[in-house]
Amino acid sequence: MNDDERGRMMTVGRIVQAEDVIWRRIGDEIVVIKDDGLATHVLNKTAAFIWEMCDGKCGIDEITSRLCERFDVSFDEASTDVREIIEKLIELGIMNQIEETAGG
């Protein structure tokens, strides 16, 4: 997948937390535990906000809009953060993208 395709997918795809994790909000942060107990991740305030939005119903754009409202940042600025964070969470294996095409 090239960068354009990836950007398009990330724009339209819905994002969902992986099924094999347990997570708890601890203050401003979220602790994510893989259910084999071997890996744990602590998400900061921004990542925690995004995490809670990733219920499988929202796409990147909606998450970005909500982040703008919550943290009073521009859409472009928020968009970069959201993409980077979601990419990282997917890379860690704790979040999945539900694959959809633009028309799908």
What is the closest distance, in whole angstroms, from the C-beta atom of residue 65 to other proteins in the complex? 27
CA–CA gap between residue 5 and residue 75 (Å, rounded): 21
Q: Which is nearer to other proteins, 36 or 76 (CB)?
A: 36
The values of phi and psi at residue 27, to 5°, are 65, -130
Report the largest interatomic distance among the alpha carbons of the chain, rounded to a whole angstrom.
Answer: 40
Residue of 1, 5, 27, 69 that binds other proteins (CB under 8 A): 27
Pairing assessment for the beta strands 95-98 and 55-59 based on DSSP bridges: unpaired
CA–CA gap between residue 84 and residue 91 (Å, rounded): 10
What is the closest distance, in whole angstroms, from the C-beta atom of residue 8 to other proteins in the complex? 34
What x/- string results for residues 31 through 70 when contact with other proteins is judged by CB under 8 A? x-x-xxx--x-x----------------------------
Q: Which stretch binds other proteins (CB under 8 A): 8-16, 24-32, 67-75, 88-96?
A: 24-32
